[in-house]
């Protein structure tokens, strides 16, 4: 038996218990840190070659693991920019140098430039809406931009498409003489409806739609600008129709042709889908809608569970601005931890895969909620006591070895 060996073993064990106590200290210090993941110390024995008559004590080494994949409790807040993830995934953020990282810390607020930045200074990244819904880049961070909520200017969108649906009464009388499309003082029609559209400046434009039965299973639809109607409304309008179509219905009462009417009003063109209009033996009914947006200011922002960031305008319209992606790796617990509860992928964790919330195994994004630390304070206090006892016991082994050495030294005296 080596006395020096037993003392070195005791030192190894005291160092291991000190490491264990360090992780406990970290956990307790971050018990209220948003998105913090508990650290734990695992022990592994070190064995030295021995013989039957001479045992060489080895030692112990430690490795630190983090429960990154363990969900923390979610607490709700009054801020819509506070974000949490229910399920798998990480937010993609970047530091001041532009390097992307992963995090579960979603305590985001707007900085001086309007970018969403969490308490550690990392900026939230997302895909912007351009000509349509963004597509994810599954194996890289290309296309991601900071989420910026500073847009407060007026916004307007010109109408470009619409639709009408309903029923034209099959038993309606056939109109003879001037129809609505002729636009004379004597023009007659069967039914009238109106739809509101918007021009490029966000001004509303009201269009009057006239449906006139011209023969069995044949109808004329004509659209006029309401502001060009004669005094008191109606015919004759100051200008001719901005769109006309001759509708033909089949024996089943469904529209055979055409399926749309095109409104050509100056530089503005609006295609109105008519495919859902029927001619059946029922009362006249008609509903419709046209896209576009009136000039309106941004009132607030909303973030959906699918990660879509939308501007909420004063008139109630929603406009999608960004779509927040989530990222994951094959082994989240092996990610490299950085200051600020950020993580970087490495060879042990696997490559980063990006997707959208509520799809392909990713969790949901909760606005107005924060994921708390997954530290159990009672467990950490128990670990602290156990670490203290282990350290004390090993110090006694070291002390005993030191006393034995004193006996050997004293034999020479």
Residue 52 has pLDDT above 80, yes or no: no
Q: Per residue in 205-216, pLDDT tens? A: 999 999 999 999
Rounded to whole angstroms, how far apart are CA atoms 245 and 351? 57
Q: Please give the average per-residue pLDDT across 179-193, as a whole number.
A: 96
The position carrying tokens 């990244």 is 125
Rounded to whole angstroms, how far apart are CA atoms 352 and 332? 10
Which of 163, 162, 170 minimizes the C-alpha distance to 190? Answer: 170
- Using an 8 Å Cβ cutoff, are 103 and 91 in contact? yes
User: What is the gyration radius of the CA atoms in the chain, in angstroms?
Assistant: 37
Asked if the peptide bond before residue 236 counts as cis, ω within 30 degrees of 0, the response is yes
**What is the DSSP code string of 312-357?**
EETTS-EEEEEE-EEEE-S-GGGSEEETTTEEE--TTT---EEEET
DSSP letter assigned to residue 174: P
The position carrying tokens 């060879």 is 347
Between 61 and 48, the higher pLDDT residue: 61
Rounded to whole angstroms, how far apart are CA atoms 57 and 126? 56
Q: By mean pLDDT, which of 68-82, 147-161, 258-272 is the weakest? A: 147-161
**271 φ, ψ to 5°?**
-90, 120
Residue 1 has pLDDT above 60, yes or no: no
List all residues 6 or more positions away from 227 whose beta carbon is below 8 Å from its beta carbon.
205, 206
Domain architecture of the chain: domains with CATH: 3-70+374-411 (no CATH), 93-153+297-331+339-361 (no CATH), 157-295 (2.60.98.20)
Give the model's pLDDT for residue 110: 92
Q: By mean pLDDT, which of 30-34, 260-264, 314-318 is the weakest? A: 314-318
Q: By mean pLDDT, which of 340-354, 377-391, 393-407 is the weakest? A: 393-407
Which of 156, 413, 405, 190 minimizes the C-alpha distance to 296? Answer: 156
């Amino acid at each position: 038996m080596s006395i020096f060996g037993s003392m070195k073993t005791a030192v190894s064990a005291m160092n291991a218990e000190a490491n264990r106590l360090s992780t406990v200290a970290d956990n307790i210090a971050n018990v209220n840190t948003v998105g913090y993941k508990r650290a734990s110390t695992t022990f592994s024995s070190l064995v030295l070659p021995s013989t039957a008559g001479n045992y060489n004590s080895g030692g112990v080494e430690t490795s630190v693991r983090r429960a990154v994949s363990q969900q923390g409790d979610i607490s709700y807040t009054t801020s819509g920019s506070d974000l949490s993830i229910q399920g798998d995934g990480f937010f993609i953020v970047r530091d001041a140098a532009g390097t992307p990282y992963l995090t579960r810390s979603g305590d985001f607020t707007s900085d001086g430039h309007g970018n969403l930045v969490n308490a550690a200074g990392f900026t939230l990244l997302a895909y912007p809406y351009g000509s349509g819904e963004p597509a994810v880049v599954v194996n890289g961070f290309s296309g991601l931009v900071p989420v910026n909520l500073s847009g407060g200017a007026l916004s307007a969108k010109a109408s470009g498409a619409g639709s009408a649906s309903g029923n034209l009464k099959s038993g309606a009388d056939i109109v003879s003489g001037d129809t609505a499309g002729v636009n004379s003082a004597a023009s007659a029609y069967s039914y009238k409806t109106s739809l509101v559209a918007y021009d490029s400046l966000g001004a509303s434009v009201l269009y009057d739609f006239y449906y006139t039965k011209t023969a069995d299973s044949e109808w004329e639809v004509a659209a006029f600008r309401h502001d060009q109607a004669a005094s008191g409304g109606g015919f004759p309008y100051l200008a001719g129709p901005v769109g006309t179509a001759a509708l033909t219905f089949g024996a089943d009462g469904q529209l055979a042709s055409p399926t749309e009417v095109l409104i050509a009003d100056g530089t503005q063109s609006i295609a109105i889908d008519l495919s859902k209009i029927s001619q059946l033996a029922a009362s006249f009914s008609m509903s419709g809608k046209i896209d576009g947006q009136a000039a309106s200011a941004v009132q607030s922002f909303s973030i959906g569970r699918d990660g879509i960031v939308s501007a909420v305008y004063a008139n109630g319209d929603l406009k999608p601005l960004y779509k927040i992606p989530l990222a994951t790796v094959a082994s989240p617990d092996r990610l490299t931890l950085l200051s600020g509860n950020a993580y970087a992928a490495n060879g042990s964790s696997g490559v980063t895969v990006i997707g959208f919330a509520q799809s392909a195994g990713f969790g949901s994004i909760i606005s107005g909620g924060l994921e708390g630390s997954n530290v159990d304070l009672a467990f950490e206090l128990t670990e602290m006591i156990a670490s203290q006892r282990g350290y004390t016991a090993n110090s006694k082994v070291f002390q005993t070895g030191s006393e034995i050495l004193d006996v050997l030294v004293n034999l020479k005296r």
